[in-house]
Amino acid sequence: MPAEPLSRPRIVAAAIDLIEREGADAVSMRRIAADLGVGVMSLYNHVPNKSALLDGVAETVLSQIEFSDDPDADWTDRVRMQALAFRQIAHHYPRCTMVVVSRQLQSTAGLLPVERALATLRSAGFGGHEAVRILRVFIAYIVGSLLREVGVTPTFAPVHRSDLAVENVDPLLFPQVSGLAPMLVDCDHESEFEFGLGLLIQAIAVQLKR
Amino acid sequence: MPAEPLSRPRIVAAAIDLIEREGADAVSMRRIAADLGVGVMSLYNHVPNKSALLDGVAETVLSQIEFSDDPDADWTDRVRMQALAFRQIAHHYPRCTMVVVSRQLQSTAGLLPVERALATLRSAGFGGHEAVRILRVFIAYIVGSLLREVGVTPTFAPVHRSDLAVENVDPLLFPQVSGLAPMLVDCDHESEFEFGLGLLIQAIAVQLKR
DNA sequence: AGAGTCGCACGTACGGTGTACGTACGTCAA
DNA sequence: TTGACGTACGTACACCGTACGTGCGACTCT
């Protein structure tokens, strides 16, 4: 009956669509089936369970990262570009970001960025051990930043909506927070991200010179 | 009947206990009520809903951070200590960490660490704007690192259990990943964390000298 | 052509979830 | 004494993931 037959990619695509439209909480097998005009249990012919479906979502999103790696560029720029590429995809699927980040998948989709990053770092002159450590630091920073941007993360990074909690804080108990409230409240995610990225790159550049 | 009457703190404590014993997925109002030897709906006399209960969990965990701030110490050491204090509490409630980190709460419990951090940075000589930016970078790094340690986070940081996905990867497609597999697989979280922390602190120290 | 197999769509059903609502029973105030 | 009120609790509803069985179409092999 359906012009296109049911398939895992179609189901994953429907899930991504649903997440972007209504958030990750709206995802249910029933809901996805309804969106596809299909019985609930039909999904299980293509996907073993909900968890695997979400893995598929993460994998699909992750595989869409586009590296325009220029081997001739300075290694610092290449690292920067790779980090930005990672962030860009999260910006394209904002509500899927939490799903991607909070799910450890073992497909090759997640390995490609790692391979690229390690290659870049090693070509810059870092040893294997250093490269791995540095990669971990960058991933931690990127993941943490994305969580903030997506709006998930403790108070420290209030969303841009009028977050009165920060502004109405007791100036005597929290002089710094109170005084810096305007800066705490609004946040240019892009420039903040690049600021930290610059710090890290600068730090490892120093590290390299020894 | 219960020696101690039901109360919000008691419910939150039960939730924390349950999360640490059986993981965040095991949390349900019914289960918590059962653990407390109480009817399910009795909980709602003290907690408006499950989400608020989890906020309470995050708040409680967060409020147990112990800063032993030494105003005479070098500011770099103070920053380091605060970051480590944050990490330590996550280490103490490992399975609550995801709950804490993925929940933006607006109570003052989350503000105290922010206040301390901002004060430290400003006393080091940073301006308000810089202090906020730097704080955001540190938080991103810390949150990202904790997610990795807790075992939530994409492939990049495989857990120490035999993660065959990385070791059995095609050496031709992923030479770096394949060659560095041993280092990718096992990870001394503590030293990794301090490595990145050191990088960041060094970077902002450089920043300060201008 | 007939028979057999297989994949896929689907309905039903079970045990779980959060929580709205009504009720019953204490303890205090007037 | 009477009333109000806070608290504990049971019931009920809508929703969830998914195990299981059924039926139908297409394809393969004889």
**Do A30 and A68 reside in the same domain of the chain?**
no
What share of chain A in percent tops pLDDT 90?
64
- Residues whose CB falls within 8 Å of the CB of residue B21, separated by 6 or more in sequence, listed in order: none
A180 contacts on B by Cβ (under 8 Å)? 118, 128, 131-132
Asked if A137's CB is within 8 angstroms of B141's CB, the reply is yes
Nearest to B152 by CA among A40, A112, A102, A71: A102
**Do A66 and A170 reside in the same domain of the chain?**
yes
**Do A15 and A101 reside in the same domain of the chain?**
no
**Do B20 and B93 reside in the same domain of the chain?**
no
**Do A42 and A134 reside in the same domain of the chain?**
no
Nearest to A146 by CA among A99, A185, A77, A78: A99
Q: What is the CATH number of the domain that holds A177?
A: 1.10.357.10
- Considering all nucleic acid strands, name the nucleotide whose C1' atom is nearest to the C-alpha of residue B28: C17
Read off the pLDDT of each residue in A24-41 and give the average, rounded to a whole number: 95
Query: Is residue B118 situated within a structural domain?
Result: yes
Q: How many CB atoms lie within 10 A of CB B144?
A: 28
**Do A197 and A169 reside in the same domain of the chain?**
yes
Q: Integer distance in angstroms from CA A60 to C1' C5?
A: 34
Query: Is residue A3 situated within a structural domain?
Result: no
Q: Return contacts of B61-70, CB within 8 angstroms, 24+ apart.
A: B61/B16, B61/B89, B61/B93, B61/B96, B61/B99, B61/B100, B62/A154, B62/B89, B62/B100, B62/B105, B62/B109, B62/B110, B62/B113, B63/B109, B63/B112, B64/B89, B64/B92, B65/B89, B65/B112, B65/B113, B67/B113, B67/B116, B69/B116, B69/B120
The more confidently predicted of residues B4 and A99 is A99
Asked if B102's CB is within 8 angstroms of A102's CB, the reply is yes
Query: Is residue B59 situated within a structural domain?
Result: no
pLDDT bucket at B161, cuts 50 / 70 / 90: very low
**Do B110 and B36 reside in the same domain of the chain?**
no
Query: Is residue A99 situated within a structural domain?
Result: yes
Query: Is residue B119 situated within a structural domain?
Result: yes
pLDDT at A169 over 60: yes
The pLDDT assigned to A156 comes to 38
ipTM of the shown complex: 0.89
Domain tally for chain A? 2
Q: Which amino acid is at A60?
A: T
- Whole domain around residue A141: which residue ranges? 62-208
**Do A103 and A133 reside in the same domain of the chain?**
yes
| Summary mean pLDDT of chain B | 88
Read off the pLDDT of each residue in A41-48 and give the average, rounded to a whole number: 96
B108 contacts on A by Cβ (under 8 Å)? 169, 173-174
The pLDDT assigned to A111 comes to 85
Q: Integer distance in angstroms from CA B30 to C1' C17?
A: 9
Which chain B residue's Cα is nearest to A185?
A: B132
Query: Is residue A2 situated within a structural domain?
Result: no
**Do A13 and A99 reside in the same domain of the chain?**
no
**Do B12 and B112 reside in the same domain of the chain?**
no
A103 contacts on B by Cβ (under 8 Å)? 152, 154
Q: What is the pLDDT of residues B81-113, one digit of tens each?
A: 999 999 999 999 999 998 988 887 667 777 888
Q: What is the CATH number of the domain that holds A35?
A: 1.10.10.60
pLDDT at A1 over 80: no
Query: Is residue B22 situated within a structural domain?
Result: yes
pLDDT bucket at A173, cuts 50 / 70 / 90: confident
Cα separation, A60 vs A114, in Å, equals 16
**Do B17 and B78 reside in the same domain of the chain?**
no
Asked if A151's CB is within 8 angstroms of B114's CB, the reply is no
Q: What is the pLDDT of residues B8-25, one digit of tens each?
A: 999 999 999 999 999 999
**Do A68 and A170 reside in the same domain of the chain?**
yes
Q: Integer distance in angstroms from CA A44 to C1' C11?
A: 14
B118 contacts on A by Cβ (under 8 Å)? 176-177, 180
Nucleotides of D under 7 A from a protein CB: 6-11, 15-21
Asked if B165's CB is within 8 angstroms of A148's CB, the reply is no
Q: Are B55 and B177 in contact (CB under 8 A)?
A: no
Query: Is residue B57 situated within a structural domain?
Result: no
Q: What is the pLDDT of residues B57-85, one digit of tens each?
A: 999 999 998 888 888 899 999 999 999 99
pLDDT at B151 over 90: no
